[in-house]
Amino acid sequence: MHYTPAADRYESMIYNRCGRSGIQLPAVSLGLWHNFGSIDNFENGRSIIRQAFDKGITHFDLANNYGPLPGSAEENFGRILKKDFTGHLRDELIVSTKAGYLMWPGPYGDKGSRKYLISSLDQSLRRMQLDYVDIFYSHRPDPETPLEETMGALHSIVQQGKALYVGLSNYSAEQTQQAVSILQSLGTPCLIHQPKYSMFERWVENGLLDVLEANGVGCIPFSPLAQGLLTDRYLHGIPAGSRASKPTGFLQEKEVSAERIEQVKKLNDIAQQRGQSLAQMALAWILKDRRITTVLIGASSAAQLDNNLACLKNTAFDKEELERIEKILSI
């Protein structure tokens, strides 16, 4: 069935300037880390992406290893682009991908070498059937490769027209400052940084956000809901079929402690008083900081996507609410 995007798709979304660049990103972006791989239902993923665009989400975030199987999220996204986003619609999208984690066997399929980053992006472009991506990230720092080599590869990728902008992910504040300085000296400024950040994981507040602000770099936190902990799913313990119930999942059972569940319940009380779900409040809490450009969410259904997007109806917190939240988080 032919897809025609909603005519009012840009009317309800908030767009924020990304650092000191010319790019504006939607306040909520869609990540394809989970639910878009070869083991997932293709038409469900397609419906989520269509719904996201209809709601003004223009930014879709991938990486070479997203799946499972690794690479399959990019392949499926490429199929969806070809089916639904042909012609001028590509120019309305910001597509990002990354390289930095293990992707293929041998010494050239991992980390931060020039060989790996450029080869990986070439593979990603083939999988997505694209001529270029809008943002290409170094997915993690590589202590065994000189930072000048990794940043030089990002610069070359932009010079070659394979990416319009570059970013960093999982770099510490000190590593970020060094990387940003190298990129600036090469003439390819760092557009954006993608760190892990949520109410339960706040390392970015100890210097990274200051570095980004000082250098005019945007910020797009991932895992803002702490792999589902900051939703109503764990209010009564670990439900069957949840991420924490699976031994190989990114959320381990030990992380869902009695103390953590008690925190979640108290945070949920505040969310309800604000007229929000816990997930909506957790997203709004991140977006309250003007240094945050956009928050990266996942979705397993179009309905879940809509629920999370409702966070934009109320991103303001009064002093009392913030104090109550801090008290809960400090327990």
**Tens-place pLDDT, residues 117-146:** 999 999 999 999 999 999 999 999 999 999
Indicate the helix (H) or strand (E) that contains 26: strand 24-26
Mean pLDDT of 274-283: 98
CB 223 within 8 A of CB 215: no
Mean pLDDT across the stretch 66-94?
A: 97
293 Cβ contact partners less than 8 Å away, ≥ 6 residues apart: 16, 17, 18, 19, 25, 192, 218, 219, 220
Cα 315 from Cα 106, distance rounded (Å) = 46
Residues with Cβ < 8 Å from 277, sequence gap 6 or more?
231, 232, 271, 307, 310
Mean pLDDT score of the chain, rounded to an integer?
A: 95
pLDDT at 236: 76
pLDDT in tens, 82-123: 999 998 999 999 999 999 999 999 999 999 999 999 999 999
Q: How far apart are CA 140 and CA 100, in angstroms?
A: 5
* 285: DSSP letter: H
Report pLDDT for 241: 62
* 58 neighbors 92 (Cβ within 8 angstroms): yes
Nearest to 171 by CA among 159, 181, 157: 181
Q: How confident is the model at residue 250 (pLDDT cuts 50, 70, 90)?
A: low
CATH of domain 15-226+277-314: 3.20.20.100
Residue type at 253?
E
Return the number of other C-beta atoms located less than 10 Å from residue 225's C-beta.
21
28 vs 237, residue with greater confidence: 28
Q: What is the pLDDT of residue 17?
A: 98
Average pLDDT over residues 171-200: 98
Percent of the chain at pLDDT exceeding 90: 90
Output the pLDDT for position 248: 54
User: Which DSSP category does 112 fall into?
Assistant: T
Cis peptide bond upstream of 105, omega within 30: no
pLDDT in tens, 216-246: 999 999 999 999 999 988 887 666 666 655 5
The phi, psi pair for 219, rounded to 5°, reads -140, 130
Quote the CA–CA distance of 308 and 145 in Å, as a whole number.
39
What token pair was written down for 186?
Answer: 């090469």
Of all residues in the chain, the percent with pLDDT exceeding 70 is 94
Q: What is the pLDDT of residue 2?
A: 87
Domains of the chain by residue range? 15-226+277-314
Query: Are 151 and 179 a contacting pair, CB within 8 Å?
Result: yes
| Secondary structure element (H or E) that encloses residue 159, with its range | helix 147-159
SS3 52: helix
Residues 252-271 have pLDDT tens digits of 666 778 889 999 999 999 99
Reading phi first (left if > 0) and then psi (alpha if -120 to 50, else beta), residue 330 is in alpha
Distance CA 317, CA 169 (A): 28
Spatial distance between the Cα atoms of 33 and 247, rounded to a whole number of angstroms: 18
pLDDT at 246: 58
Report, as an integer, the average pLDDT of 292-321. 97
pLDDT at 206: 97
For 137-172, what is each residue's pLDDT tens digit? 999 999 999 999 999 999 999 999 999 999 999 999
- Concatenated DSSP letters for 210-242? HHHHHHT-EE--B-TTGGGTTSGGGTTS--TTS
